[in-house]
A and B are shown apart, each in its own frame.
Chain A
Amino acid sequence: MAAPLSYLGVGLDRPRVGVFEFTSCEGCQLQLVNNEATLLDFLNLIELVNFREAMSERSDDYDIALVEGSISRADEVARLKEIRTNARLLVALGSCACFGGVNQLKNRFGDLDWVKKKVYGDFPIASQEVRPLADFVAVDLMIYGCPPKKEEIEKVVTNLVVGKKVAMPKYPVCMECKANENICLFTLGEPCLGPITRAGCDAWCPNHRRGCWGCRGPAEAANVRELEAIMARHGFSREAMLDRLECFGGFSSQVAALRGQPRRPRKARSSKRS
Chain B
Amino acid sequence: MKRSRTIQLNHLPRVEGHGNIHIRVQQGKVVEARWEVVETPRFFEAMLIGKLWENAPYLCGRICGICSIGHTLASIRAVENAFGIVPSEQTTTLRLLLKHMETLQSHILHLYFLAAPDFLGVGSLLALTQSHPTEVQRALRLKLLANDACDLIGGRRLHPTRTVVGGFTMLPEKAQLEHLAQRLAAAQEDLAAAADLFGGFTIPHFARETEFVSLKGDHDYPFIGGELISSDGVIKKEDEYQAMTNEYCAEGFTAKLSRLSRDSYAVGALARLNNNFGHLHPAARTVAKRLGLAPVNHNPFMANLAQLVECVHVVHDSLSLIKKLLRRKRQAPRVALKPRKGYGVGAVEVPRGILYHAYEFDQEGRIVKADCVIPTSQNHANIQHDLQALARQWAAQGQADADIELLAQMLVRAYDPCISCSVH
Interface residues of A (CB under 8 A from B): 21-31, 33-34, 36-37, 39-40, 43, 48, 51-58, 72-73, 76, 101-103, 105-106, 108-109, 114-116, 118-121, 123, 125, 127, 146-147, 204-205, 208-210, 213, 239-240, 243, 247, 264-268, 271, 273-274
In contact, B63 and A25 (Cβ under 8 angstroms): yes
In contact, A26 and B16 (Cβ under 8 angstroms): yes
In contact, A147 and B159 (Cβ under 8 angstroms): yes
Complex interface: chain B residues within 8 A of A101 (CB): 62
Nearest CB in chain A to that of B145: its residue:
A36
In contact, A48 and B126 (Cβ under 8 angstroms): yes
In contact, B52 and A240 (Cβ under 8 angstroms): yes
In contact, B369 and A106 (Cβ under 8 angstroms): no
Complex interface: chain B residues within 8 A of A115 (CB): 43, 46-47
Given contacts A26-B65, A54-B124, contact A105 B47 (CB under 8 A): yes
In contact, B65 and A209 (Cβ under 8 angstroms): no
Q: Cβ of B41 < 8 Å from any Cβ of A?
A: yes
Complex interface: chain A residues within 8 A of B147 (CB): 34, 36
Chain B nearest CB from A113 CB (Å) reads 11
Chain A nearest CB from B103 CB (Å) reads 15
CB proximity to A under 8 Å, residues B2-29: 11, 13-17
Q: B140, B161, B360, B420: which contacts A26 (Cβ < 8 A)?
A: B420
> A119–B147 Cα gap in the complex (Å)?
33
In contact, B59 and A208 (Cβ under 8 angstroms): no
Could you show 28 A-B contacts with beta carbons less than 8 Å apart?
A25-B64, A26-B64, A33-B113, A34-B157, A36-B147, A53-B13, A53-B16, A55-B123, A56-B117, A72-B40, A105-B59, A118-B46, A119-B46, A146-B62, A146-B159, A205-B155, A208-B162, A208-B169, A210-B155, A243-B52, A266-B366, A267-B50, A267-B362, A267-B366, A268-B49, A268-B50, A268-B368, A273-B368
Complex interface: chain A residues within 8 A of B123 (CB): 55-57
In contact, A27 and B65 (Cβ under 8 angstroms): yes
Q: A29, A53, A273: which contacts B369 (Cβ < 8 A)?
A: A273
Chain A nearest CB from B104 CB (Å) reads 13
Complex interface: chain A residues within 8 A of B52 (CB): 239-240, 243
Given contacts A25-B63, A102-B47, A103-B42, contact A208 B124 (CB under 8 A): no
> A125–B50 Cα gap in the complex (Å)?
23
Chain A nearest CB from B414 CB (Å) reads 16
Q: Residue-by-residue, is B95-122 near A (CB-CB < 8 Å gives 1, otherwise 0)?
A: 0000000000000010001100100000
Q: Cβ of B1 < 8 Å from any Cβ of A?
A: no
Nearest CB in chain B to that of A94: its residue:
B65
Q: A29, A48, A123, A264: which contacts B65 (Cβ < 8 A)?
A: A29
In contact, A54 and B144 (Cβ under 8 angstroms): no
Q: Cβ of B320 < 8 Å from any Cβ of A?
A: no
Complex interface: chain B residues within 8 A of A213 (CB): 58
Q: Cβ of B125 < 8 Å from any Cβ of A?
A: yes
Among B15, B49, B366, max chain A CB count under 10 A is at: B49
Among A106, A146, A208, max chain B CB count under 10 A is at: A208
> A52–B62 Cα gap in the complex (Å)?
20
In contact, A127 and B126 (Cβ under 8 angstroms): no
Given contacts A54-B124, A123-B249, contact A243 B51 (CB under 8 A): yes
Complex interface: chain B residues within 8 A of A118 (CB): 43, 45-46, 49
Complex interface: chain A residues within 8 A of B158 (CB): 27, 30-31, 34, 147
Given contacts A25-B64, A27-B68, A106-B42, contact A56 B109 (CB under 8 A): no
> A133–B136 Cα gap in the complex (Å)?
35
Chain B nearest CB from A75 CB (Å) reads 8
Q: Cβ of B156 < 8 Å from any Cβ of A?
A: yes
In contact, B50 and A204 (Cβ under 8 angstroms): no
Q: Cβ of B143 < 8 Å from any Cβ of A?
A: yes
Q: Cβ of B176 < 8 Å from any Cβ of A?
A: no
> A102–B144 Cα gap in the complex (Å)?
28
> A40–B132 Cα gap in the complex (Å)?
13
Chain B nearest CB from A151 CB (Å) reads 13
Chain B nearest CB from A136 CB (Å) reads 14
In contact, B43 and A127 (Cβ under 8 angstroms): yes
Q: Cβ of B170 < 8 Å from any Cβ of A?
A: yes
